[in-house]
Structure 1
Amino acid sequence: MKTIALIVICLFLSIGQAQAGLIQWDAFNAGDGLAVKDESTGLVWLDLTQTAGKHYDAVSSLYSGWELASYSVVEELLITAFSTINIIGSLGEKNKFEQECSNTSVCFDNAENWQGLFGSISGVNRSYQQYSYGLYLDHEDVLRMGGVFKNGSGSANLYGTEFNVGYSLDYETKYANGDFTYFGFYLIKSEPVFSAQPKLLPINDASAPTTSFFFLSLSGLLIFLKRNVKAKRSNKK
């Protein structure tokens, strides 16, 4: 029986790991779906649309209970979400962390899922272009960006950690010129207020075992072990 109990515990732990991911969450009111919860860390991320075009000095106090995320947690999120990104170009080149994704590729699906969760802003003159960018301060206090751009022609770009553009340089002038219209900020809170219906983001391998599979396996295993126990008892008699 101890063996059976141990197997049951292991299977339940496996179920939790298989289901962990990014799910749609609520930010301000029940059902608004304006946040994303990371089940692996417990952090709740505000949709990038809610801070798009805001000034860096004002964004941290924009919403009560929300704060600017540190570079370590932002980069952990980006590494997880954009794990399939190809690093191209030489060190220091602008496109080092950029990948062209066609609408028949896995990374394009990843871009769509990201925008479905974190929100997107349509281009002013080209509504078919969708932006889902977030700014954060890196370990050297340089403003970096991570996120997704999707074009109506069926292509997308994914931007990962330490994308090689520093947005701190001449920030005020750029802001005044409207250069950050499509840029939000990564705001987080550690305690969720509402729980919305989960919407899973298939970050890496979408073929992870399902809960039903685990329970079916568990049922079969328990039946098998029970029969073995009965057989051993019969043999002893």
Structure 2
Amino acid sequence: MERYGYLFMIVSLPIIWQLLVWTSGLEPFILPGPVPVVEHVIIEWRMFLYNTGVTMVGALVGYAFANIFAIAIAILFVYVPSVQNFIMPWFIVIKNIPYVVIAPILILTLGSTPLPKIIIVFIVTFFPLVANVAAGLRAADEVLLDRMRVLNASRWQIFWKVRWPAAIPYYMAAHEIAFTGAIIAAVVAEFFFSREGLGYLIVTALETYRADTLYGVTLIAGVLGVGNYLLVVRLRKWVMRWQEA
């Protein structure tokens, strides 16, 4: 039934969009219809494809580093609980600083390089990942843990056989939020300093009053967000079936 819901969304979106164009009374240069926007994306497909690739590369690099550090820190929290008391206050402070404020500081210190975008993606996606992985590791069955200790299992064996399998559902659930958040963070970061990427296209579209480019970027970003979410959901189901087997 879920796939029918997405099919309904795909069919109804252009209809609702066109109805808004007809009923709003706005000029085409402010609110173009779906057909002109799609035509513009097709005509300028090289521009959109290149800038989409730039955004995706930055998002994926930052997201990869966020995953590596999140898993490492979560393991540290579980096996050395006292460390969490010292590190967590810093995490809370950093997490609650708006990344639209952090971005200019990173640009001043690191310059117009891909690093500010990667760091912003890292900050946005790291916290849901580390929280979920740590919760999953702690959710391991105490009975299984006691049996492994009775059998003189090593810490690595306990982690790999009991704790990590318990954390996988939590870890996969975190991706549903964090993976889409990585793209949003990359686009927002590109507002401030980038000369390429979807965020840069949005800025230039606003400056030149190119509504077709603006709505084209919005359409592409929406497709990326939904596509990534569906990919993560599909991957989570596959991992869960593999784990059960």
Q: TM-score, normalised by structure 2?
A: 0.22
Q: Which has the higher helix share?
A: 2
TM-score (norm. length: structure 1): 0.23
Higher-strand-fraction structure:
1
